[in-house]
Amino acid sequence: MTEPKAKPRSFPLGLDKISKAPTSTARQVLMPQRHLQQAAADAARQAAPSGLGLDSAQVRQRMVQRLRREGLNDERVLQAFAEVPRHEFVDTALAIQAYEDTSLPIGHGQTISKPSVVGRMLALLMMGAKAAEQGQLGRCLEIGTGCGYQAALLGDLSRQLVSIERLKPLHDKAIENLGKLRRQNIRLIYGDGRLGHVPNAPYDSIVAAAGGEDIPAAWLAQLAPGGRLVAPMAKPGGRTQVLVVVDHVLEAGVSRYMRTEHEGVLFVPLKSGVM
């Protein structure tokens, strides 16, 4: 009987099976790093990343082009949109949506209005008698500063802007946001927007970012002759809102207020008092 052949020994091999490495007088240097030539090439690569970040003027221009296609044709308003970085005024978690045509929450039950609505309101203001004569909004009053984005746009379009916010946290946030832009012609007030701001009245332009049941008498009293007011207001007998334009016309020493209604909108409610 023949004996079965021995199976080859699997790993690990015995020490007697391992061949010895040849000896060398030269010491072998281990180099886990990449080759010096490749590392030097990486270090020499100085080109800045190319792309369309949120701080890119091209991103804002895309928004401007969309607004123009949708009918906004006031070049001064479009230029303001091209210059003001909207992403700086929203929460970082929402910054990716900053240049979409959508409203975004800014906390405390408030929102930043969609660009198309803001653009429409600013364009209506620019068509007021005084604004058309001066080529800008003159002395302007904003009711509802919010995060400060519309105030930044208004600052580009007016000689002087007074903006009122009734919610202290938003007032403080607007100060922080607008401080980055170093606007010298914007004054932020913490107070009740329904009362306007008498010390700087009268105003050539007044715009509100909240909608009520009526136009407060204080706003009309602070609107200069030839001035224009634009605000969202509830339609009588309903819950829907429309943009309301009021022009202060002075004829033979007699003031008249001409009111017209425009398209439907949706804004947060106009409230009294401060918080």
What distance in Å separates the CA atoms of residue 247 and residue 228, rounded to the nearest whole number?
5
Side-chain-facing half-sphere of 39: CA atoms under 13 Å: 6
Name the burial class of residue 10, with classes exposed (0-12), middle (13-18) and buried (19+) by CB atoms within 10 angstroms of its CB.
exposed
Q: Cβ atoms within 10 A of the Cβ of 191, count? A: 14
How far, in whole angstroms, is CA 191 from its chain's centroid?
A: 23
Q: Cβ atoms within 10 A of the Cβ of 221, count? A: 13
Gyration radius (Cα) of the chain, Å: 32
Tokens of residue 69, six digits: 């296609």
Interstrand relation of 186-190 and 104-107 (parallel, antiparallel or unpaired): unpaired
How far, in whole angstroms, is CA 232 from its chain's centroid?
A: 20
Side-chain-facing half-sphere of 235: CA atoms under 13 Å: 12
229 with 212: CB under 8 angstroms? no
Query: Quick one: which H or E segment has residue 41?
Result: helix 36-43
Q: Out of 113, 158, 163, 205, which one is annotated catalytic?
A: 113
Tokens of residue 177, six digits: 């946001």
- The reply to whether 113 belongs to the active site is yes
Q: Cβ atoms within 10 A of the Cβ of 54, count? A: 14
Residues involved in catalysis: 113
